Amino acid sequence: MMDGTAIRIEAFLEMMSAERGAAANTLASYERDLEDARSFLLQRQVRMVEAEPDDLRAYLGHLARQGFKPSSQSRKLSALRQFYKFLYAEGVRDTDPTGILDAPRKERSLPKTLSTDDVTRLVELAAQEAAAAGGDLLQRLRMHALVELLYATGMRVSELVSLPATVLAQDGRFLVVKGKGNKERLVPLSRSAITALQAYGARLAEERERQEDAKESPFLFPSAGKGGHLPRQVFARDLKALASRAGIRASTLSPHVIRHAFASHLLQNGADLRAVQELLGHSDISTTQIYTHVLEERLHRLVQDHHPLAKQAKKPD
């Protein structure tokens, strides 16, 4: 025979199924999470329907001590919030004990990045392959231009592959990039990026002249695919292949990693955080501040590896 709490949980699950159309897997997850909380509260001699905020804080603390990640704790707390909102709506309780609880803070993962040496190797190999004779020269020139542009500007890969063909007609060391929300920003081009872009543009024009029926594309990096421009996935695949040839572990590399390298290397060399925010197209500086954590980690390792007192501390007694 079910007790009062079990009956309430069953009623809650029935409501989630009938009124909100929750899937079977979702319902099973809710049931497991609620039963887990119920079991913990019973050990504290607290009925779940009568639990107070401190009881639930103790439960979250218990989860943390058990090694549950903040994301898993948040999921279980979400189930509790839904359950107690149901009890409140049904008049079983006159308060919601989860209303004043803070969600477990998720650790923000540090972005992967590349050393300046690795980026140099990558760019130099792309340049060498673009200068070699034979094979698909246009594709190699395109790859060189893509890598140079990506590292010079820190563009998002979606912004890079969809650049307009009008870029080839402009004269100057700055590029107007249309980012999220159609917001435009100005990004500088390095001399090597301009050179690579010009070489690619010249070859692209030659190819079009040879193909009399070739249609003009509005994109700088055209493709016969549905989008009309080079797909992000194709560039990511080719970038990994280039990294492998350069002796860089391909699994660690993606276009986004080069964007991270752009930001990290600027800050390492004294760039202002606000300036980096503008160049990356971040609407909120807190998004850019993650790169300061990358620098903090690097400086910490630097001290641990090279400071004489740190070395002494590592020596065994």
pLDDT greater than 90 at residue 92: yes
Q: What are the tens digits of pLDDT across the range 177-192?
A: 888 777 888 888 999 9
Catalytic residue among 156, 203, 232, 265: 156
> 15-24, 99-108, 120-129, 142-151: lowest mean pLDDT where?
99-108
CB contact burial 195-222 (16+ within 10 A = b; e otherwise): ebbebbbebbeeeeeeeeeeeebebbbb
User: Which residue has better confidence, 106 or 195?
Assistant: 195
- Give the pLDDT band (50/70/90) at residue 138: very high
d(CA 74, CA 105): 9
What are residue 187's phi and psi, to 5 degrees? -125, 140
Res 218: pLDDT: 93
Q: What does pTM read for this prediction?
A: 0.60
pLDDT greater than 90 at residue 125: yes
What are residue 217's phi and psi, to 5 degrees? -105, 145
Res 309: pLDDT: 59
Query: Which of 20-24, 98-102, 202-206, 248-252 has the largest mean confidence?
Result: 202-206
Q: What are the tens digits of pLDDT across the range 296-309?
A: 555 555 556 655 65
Q: What are the tens digits of pLDDT across the range 62-86?
A: 998 998 888 888 889 999 999 999 9
> How far is the CA of 74 from the CAs of 47, 105, 154, 290, in angstroms?
22, 9, 33, 22
Written as one string, the DSSP assignment of 57-74 is HHHHHHHHHTT--HHHHH
What average pLDDT score do residues 121-131 get? 96
d(CA 279, CA 281): 6
180 is catalytic: yes
156 is catalytic: yes
Catalytic residue among 47, 62, 85, 282: 282
Residue 242 near residue 125, CB atoms below 8 Å: yes
76 is catalytic: no
Domains of the chain: 4-89 (1.10.150.130), 116-304 (1.10.443.10)
Listed in sequence order, the residues at least 6 apart from 223 whose beta carbon sits closer than 8 Å to its beta carbon are: 229, 230, 231, 234
Catalytic residue among 108, 180, 237, 300: 180
259 is catalytic: yes
Catalytic residue among 93, 121, 256, 298: 256
> How far is the CA of 268 from the CAs of 199, 265, 295, in angstroms?
31, 5, 7
Q: What are the tens digits of pLDDT across the range 244-296?
A: 999 998 888 999 999 989 988 888 888 888 888 888 887 776 666 666 655 55
249 is catalytic: no
User: Which residue has better confidence, 97 or 315?
Assistant: 97
Res 302: pLDDT: 53
30 is catalytic: no
Amino acid sitting at position 280: L
End-to-end C-alpha distance for the chain, whole angstroms: 64
Listed in sequence order, the residues at least 6 apart from 25 whose beta carbon sits closer than 8 Å to its beta carbon are: none
Q: What are the tens digits of pLDDT across the range 231-247?
A: 999 999 999 999 999 99
Q: What are the tens digits of pLDDT across the range 11-57?
A: 999 999 998 888 888 899 999 999 999 999 999 999 999 999 999 99
What average pLDDT score do residues 1-14 get? 83
Res 179: pLDDT: 82
* Mean pLDDT, the chain, integer: 86
